[in-house]
Amino acid sequence: MQTIETERLILRAWTPDDAPGMFAYAKSPLVGPAAGWEPHKTVADSEAYLKLAIEENETWAVTQKTDGRILGGIGLHTTRVDTVRELGYVLHPDFWGKGIMTEAAKAVIDFGFRTLLLDAIIIRRNANNARSGRVIAKCGFRYDGTLRRNTRRADGSLSDDCAYSMTREEWEQGPQESRAYSFVQNRACEYFPCHKTNDPEHFNCLFCYCPLYRMKDCGGNPSYLPNGIKDCSNCTVPHFCYDHVVNKLMERTDV
């Protein structure tokens, strides 16, 4: 694997010595189940998985540039079409909400189109994994649809997958996320203030800063206060359907 360097990260090939670092995040019940696999119970589980990862040579270890700590993994996996890869990633919970995976994913996407000369990159996520949905939106993927009962989870249940893609032409045009959207803080929201910062990388959701707020036909269910202010307190669209927000935003011509 070609090493990729970003502002805060170094993405490098896995080595057999990385098993303890992988186990540090793979043992978390917050990580594996969200991706459809059981948490690793011992370092031996990580060693076995790591052996396969090295043989396949499709994933990078995501490491912290300052100290080399393994934060997670990211890969471009082969599909039935040789010029189309599927992006996948996993991150230690201690580093969620810091923009780490968005930074890594954007670098890997650029590598895929610029170095591997891919025609498209696809990605899927569990329909309930909104955190991954935010990374996907920030990277500029387009929502293609929901694959119902597409994945059997570790507990045996079936789950829906949301599917996204990015073509070479879309990558060349630049991601939708880079556009200058107008965000509006909605103090009428029952969850306010759930955002600890004005930095979009640390938004917990799109609700208080919903880019659809100024749209009359936003697709949600807002009401209006006596003073005429739009009240989105009862709207569940941003909290439970990020795809709607992103797709509706793409319809706009004024951003």
Fold adopted by 4-178: Aminopeptidase (3.40.630)
pLDDT value, residue 206: 47
Give whichever of 31-45, 181-195, 238-252 has the largest mean pLDDT: 31-45
CA angle 133, 254, 191 (to 5 degrees): 45
- Backbone phi, psi, residue 205, to 5°: -160, -175
Rounded to the nearest 10 degrees, the angle between the axes of helix 43-56 and helix 19-26 is 110
pTM: 0.70
CA angle 153, 154, 155 (to 5 degrees): 90
Q: Which residues pair with 9 in a beta bridge?
A: 64
| 149: pLDDT strictly greater than 50 | yes
- The dihedral formed by the CA atoms of 129, 134, 200 and 107, expressed in degrees to the nearest 10: 120
Taking residues 5-11, report their average pLDDT. 96
Domain with CATH 3.40.630.30 in the chain: 4-178
Q: What percent of the chain is predicted at pLDDT more than 70?
A: 72
Greatest Cα pair distance, the chain, in angstroms, is 64
Q: How far apart are CA 54 and CA 255, in angstroms?
A: 43
Question: What is the average pLDDT score of the chain?
Answer: 80
Structure tokens at 37: 């696999």
Taking residues 88-103, report their average pLDDT. 93
- Backbone phi, psi, residue 222, to 5°: -75, 160
Choose among 247, 137, 152, 124: nearest CA to 200. 137
pLDDT value, residue 91: 95
